[in-house]
Amino acid sequence: MKIPHFAPIPAGLPATVPFIGPETLQRQRGRPFAARLGANENGFGPSPKAVEAMCGAVAGIWQYGDSTSHDLLEALSVHLDMPAANIVIGEGIDGLLGLLVRLMIAPGDAVVTSDGAYPTFNYHVAGFGGVLHKVPYRDDREDIGALAARAHQVDARLVYLSNPDNPMGSWHDGTAIEAMLDELPQGALLLLDEAYVEFAPAEAVPRIAADDPRVIRMRTFSKAYGMAGARIGYAMGHPELIAGFERIRNHFGVNRIAQAGALAALLDRDWLVHVQREVAAARDRISLIAVENGMSALPSTTNFVAVDTGQDGRFARALVDRLEEDGVFIRMPGVAPLNRCIRVSCAPAAELEILAEALPKVLAEMRRAEA
């Protein structure tokens, strides 16, 4: 006996996972990683005040979370200096991406992104029947001019841009993004993914009015605030666009522990500064490890570094796999020419020292195997 058939759009899709999680990889290898440097998590951890707040919320977990995330929403309104009506809170940027695509994209609608950019966005577009149009990176950065031009060519409904960028760690000045808005076709919406904005220099952050109808900006507590496992983030945009999320969002999807932790994390400015300093030091250490092994680190304003192996994607894939065998979890971009690089997340010094010890050994083994 067969199950009832799927709806037409998912029936035509492959079963895919945008990222294979480190837990899955650990189960496959039968032991944990010694250095977890592949998921762009914040290994320096959340604010102790956030941990305390989350622990305090555990006893009340029998209650559903506040469906409006009121206290966090009000704190974000003050923090961002914009009305609460311009903000929606959701289950991390990944959850908000799915909601936005559902809200804006009908089957057949055109969506523009960069070839090699965040694959989870592409996953949501495919899931709702949108048609992806991709442009290549230019000089290891998303090409904002090409994105705008392709949007005109295909009459795009959505244009995706991350700034700073994942997987390369590159960035554009905010003024360039402001100018990009004027180049988009009428009716197109720029989706500006700012997951790493807390690590970016001030000049990388565009000055865009909270009620500008041409853009929606998304941020997260997963990266700088160290709460990836809590799944909580927020989007900012025109109040009528933000109100549209009320038609489709999971109103009780953000749990009360995550809300309590995010609120405490947002208010602990000192801990955020501490993490920013630790990440900057870790970027320097990763860059030094790269140079010591005949590679080069690309400039980064994120909590990871893309390391140019000087080889091709085949070599980078072999290096990632061999490091995994040695207990070091890293990742790499999936599209040429970006895939000549490996991507290493910032982490405490002890984990980076494991990488520093493993990398030359693995490289030597690879050279011997090719000889």
Bridge-based pairing of strands 87-90 and 233-236 is antiparallel
* Mean pLDDT to the nearest integer, 241-252: 97
Residue 370 has pLDDT above 90, yes or no: no
CA angle centred on 97, ends 93 and 99, rounded to 5° = 120
Which domains can be identified in the chain, with CATH numbers?
A: 8-45+270-370 (3.90.1150.10), 48-268 (3.40.640.10)
Q: Which residue has the tokens 């998921």?
A: 39
* Mean pLDDT to the nearest integer, 141-163: 98
Tally of helices (H runs) and strands (E runs) in the chain = 13, 12
Residue 19 has pLDDT above 90, yes or no: no
pLDDT category at 131 given cuts 50, 70, 90 is very high
What span, in angstroms and rounded, lies between the C-alpha atoms of 187 and 236?
A: 18
pLDDT in tens, 71-109: 999 999 999 999 999 999 999 999 999 999 999 999 999
Q: What is the DSSP string of 306-345?
A: EEE-SS-HHHHHHHHHHHHHTTEE-B--SSTTGGGEEEEE
Residue 371 has pLDDT above 80, yes or no: no
Residue 114 backbone class (left: φ over 0; alpha: ψ -120 to 50; beta: rest): beta
pLDDT in tens, 285-329: 999 999 999 999 999 999 999 999 999 999 999 999 999 999 999
Phi, psi at residue 107, to the nearest 5°? -50, 130
Closest residue by Cα to residue 137 from 180, 175, 167: 167
Higher per-residue pLDDT: 199 or 1: 199
* Mean pLDDT to the nearest integer, 257-265: 98
Average pLDDT, the chain: 97
Specify the amino acid at residue 131.
V
pLDDT score recorded for residue 202 = 97
* Mean pLDDT to the nearest integer, 156-174: 98
pLDDT category at 15 given cuts 50, 70, 90 is confident
Percent pLDDT > 70 in the chain is 100
